[in-house]
Amino acid sequence: MNHLTEEQLILHHYGEAEGRGLIASHLQVCESCRTRYQALQRVIEAVNTLTVPPRAENYGAEIWRQLCPRIARTAAARRSDLWRLFQWPRWALAGGLALLVLAAFVAGRFWPQRGLTTGPLTETSRRPISRQARERVLLKEIGDHLERSQLALIELINSKTNGVVDISLEQSLARQLVDVNRLYRQTAARLGDAGMASVLEDLERTLIEISNSPSKLSSTELAEFRRRIDTDDTLFKIKVVSSQVRARERDAARELAGKRS
């Protein structure tokens, strides 16, 4: 057998050479090839000096912390993509719904009384939507809006900075949220829910600030954003109000179900 080529030796080391038995036998009898093979093995062994920087014990949890808002956003985008297949854009729909709900609230203040004064012609089919049903729709929409806003802020404050960070995506989302937020804030104020109106006002200010800022932020500017959001406890307040809204929505649903049964 001729001397082994370098390719054969390399592939033999990794167990990928053809005729492995023949190569092994040759290496036993041919000192020249054996010496070359041993030198090659030392070189390949040296590659193991390449060390990987260690990670903290909670590395997986840290990755999840950074990944979570992106995953949630992907899931939300997937849902809205599905929605968009047969509907208007979600922001337009949310805005439209807000207007409808607002109109329903305003109208609801007058219709029932008028119905009562018109005498015996009040039929079940002509009854306006009940207060509980309207409230439930509004709470559901506000809850969704608060969750979307919370997600947008989390995404922004978790942005990675390598000198400059591009926030154009977050800005476009913030612009959509501002319009809807304004309607909800006005509705909350009109209904005398001062706590809700105040949180929505804070949120609106933050969203407008994001919408109007440059689309590329330096790490200092982003840090300033983070600091302001932290100082104002904006995220915390949204979270608290959001869970209150969800609880009220559940109560409204139970009340509605109780009335129907």
Partner 1 sequence: MMEESDAVAVAKAREGDQDAFRVLVERHSLRLFQLAYRMTGNEQDAEDMVQETFLRAYNRLDRFESRAGFGTWLHRIAANCSLDLLRRQKRRGDRERTVEFDPEEAIPMILSEAPAPDQQLFHAELQQKVESVMQELTPMERTAFVLRHFEGQSIEEIGSTLGAGPGATKQSIFRAVQKMRRALEPVMNASS
Report the interface residues with partner 1, using CB under 8 A: 6-7, 10-11, 14, 16, 39-40, 42-44, 46-47, 49-53, 55, 59-61, 63-64, 66-68, 70-72, 74-75, 162
Residue 10 or 235 with smaller CB distance to partner 1: 10
Widest pairwise Cα distance in the chain: 114
At residue 63, what is the residue type? Answer: I
Residue 29 or 50 with smaller CB distance to partner 1: 50
Closest approach, Cβ 65 to partner 1, in A, equals 10
Cβ(183)–Cβ(99) below 8 Å? yes
Cβ(177)–Cβ(207) below 8 Å? yes
Residue 134 or 148 with smaller CB distance to partner 1: 148
Closest approach, Cβ 211 to partner 1, in A, equals 26
Closest approach, Cβ 32 to partner 1, in A, equals 16
- Angstrom CA distances, 107 to 95, 118, 236, stand at 18, 17, 34
Determine the Cα angle at 94 with ends 90 and 98, to 5°.
Answer: 170
Closest approach, Cβ 90 to partner 1, in A, equals 18
Q: Could you say which DSSP state residue 166 is in?
A: E
Cβ(151)–Cβ(73) below 8 Å? yes
**Three-state DSSP state, 162:** strand
Residue 61: how many other CB atoms lie within 10 Å: 9
Residue 8 or 234 with smaller CB distance to partner 1: 8
Closest approach, Cβ 13 to partner 1, in A, equals 8
Residue 69 or 143 with smaller CB distance to partner 1: 69
Alpha-helical runs (H) found in 14-167 = 20-29, 31-46, 59-84, 90-108, 111-117, 131-157
